[in-house]
Amino acid sequence: MMEDFETLDEHLKTGSISESLKKEFKGIAPSARFVAIANIIFQIISFLVSFIDPDAGVGANFIGAGVNIALNVVLLQLANEMKSFGNSGSEKDLTTLLKKQLSYWIFTGALIIIGVVFFLLAIVAFSMSSGSLF
């Protein structure tokens, strides 16, 4: 079964990227672009809705929307790099694509760590106000 799949290593050793591999990267690009644009639009709408309901916390929504928009801009850039690599198949475009993908995952990982820290701080704050940790 694994013999049926092409690997990137095989093509980099020979210095050529197959058309099917380029096609796969090019095929991913529209989906990534759609997700990024949809999320950016959703975050803008979410932020605007927070002005209608002041209890929703405009400041928190502003920060959350800004972070999510920035993350999705990186995803949009990644989609563009996938398309470029799919068109050219050059090692330079592949390197740029992988660097952009690394940026996306570092950004996502940092957001997860920040989220966990805020969650733990919320638990501690709640336990201090109620008098017990559990």
Strand boundaries in the chain, DSSP class E: none
- Domain map of the chain by residue range? 2-130
The residue written with tokens 């980099």 in the block is 12
The residue written with tokens 């999320």 in the block is 39
Mention every residue, 6+ apart, whose C-beta is less than 8 A from residue 98: none
Does the pLDDT at position 47 exceed 90?
no
The residue written with tokens 């330079």 in the block is 92
The CA distance from 134 to 124, in Å, is 10
The predicted pLDDT at position 1 comes to: 47
pTM of the model: 0.68
Mention every residue, 6+ apart, whose C-beta is less than 8 A from residue 71: 104, 107, 108, 111
pLDDT tens-place string over residues 82-130: 999 988 888 888 889 899 999 999 988 998 898 899 889 988 888 877 7
The CA distance from 113 to 121, in Å, is 12
